Amino acid sequence: MYEQYLIEFKQQDELLAMDPVKLDTWHKNINEIIEHNSNSENSWKKGINSFTDMTFEEFASFYIMAPQADCSATEGSSKALFEIEEQDLDMPAGWDWRDHKGVTPVKNQGHCGSCWTFSTVGTLEAHIMIKYGEFRNISEQQLVDCAQAFDNHGCNGGLPSHAFNYIMYNGGITDESHYPYTAKDGACGYFPNNKTAEVDGGPINITRGDEDELKAAVYMHGPVSVAFQVIKGFKEYHSGVYQSDECGTLPTQVNHAVVAVGYGVENDVPYWIVKNSWSATWGDQGYFKIARGVNMCGIA
């Protein structure tokens, strides 16, 4: 098992030689990766990445937002647009918007709990791609700096549903070239003349816990903003269908917003295909699979 890590292990040992605390963390995480991957019952694999020299607490302080008090999902039925029985739809067993020119490049949120902005922008970019066939590189930083009146908190977290409402009531959002990302809170500097995209009519909420409705929404309309709870171990995700019996399932426990871009089945386990915001070098080229149909880690 150790052979696959020898090169990375030696290189990282040399890089961390001057920091014994980091080096100790690196060794502990490597051993946890090897132990996890040695268990054939696990449906997913861990791997070395840029977070392997961090404790989970250190990682969470940079990349995970505080759980939000509100939830975007609705308690009852959502709009009639999604009130369709799954058996009435001719939906394929698997669907991936990456194969249908409906997903834009993976980005990197950096040391800022701004995942809610990347979830919002990633979803909006995807729908623009599907509708117009073009990539508009929309600004996350505008949301970080300008959406506080909609109960969002920049690098300390927020809700994509509130961000969509901000874009709608603000009359639009600009692109990265006019408002580049800095991974830190700043003063709002949006100029309406630089508008790149709009949101018309506000967000449509999926019924809480209804993953059939979520599946229909993803297939029929495009990628959907979702959130779940990141716990220890997930930061080293590499491949397979992520499952955990330790994460929470309540809407008040989710702490990371992402984008559902498809679904499928692997080894008889249904899963969601999810776009993350920790760079394309993390996970499976910036994506991960998570179990579907069981509200895994609060994804529904």
H-helix or E-strand spanning residue 240: strand 237-242
pLDDT interval class at 15 (50, 70, 90): low
Looking at residue 80, its pLDDT comes to 46
- Do residues 258 and 275 make contact, with C-beta atoms less than 8 angstroms apart? yes
pTM above 0.75, yes or no: yes
Catalytic residue among 112, 115, 155, 297: 115
Active site residue 194: no
| Distance from C-alpha of 298 to C-alpha of 64, rounded to nearest angstrom | 15
Task: For residue 188, indicate whether it is catalytic.
Answer: no
Q: What is the pLDDT of residue 14?
A: 55
Of 49, 153, 276, 297, which residue is the catalytic one? 276
What pLDDT does 203 receive?
85
Helix axes 20-38, 6-16, angle to 10 degrees: 160
Mean pLDDT over 32-40 rounds to 96
- Concerning whether 100 is annotated as a catalytic residue, the answer is no
pLDDT tens-digit series, residues 174-198: 999 999 999 999 999 999 999 999 9
From the list 49, 152, 165, 256, the catalytic residue is: 256
Each residue's pLDDT tens digit, 122-173: 999 999 999 999 999 999 999 999 999 999 999 999 999 999 999 999 999 9
Question: Can you tell me the distance from the alpha carbon of 219 to that of 224, in angstroms, rounded to the nearest whole number?
Answer: 10
C-alpha torsion 114→50→57→299, nearest 10:
50
pLDDT digits (tens, 9 = 90+) for 110-125: 999 999 999 999 999 9
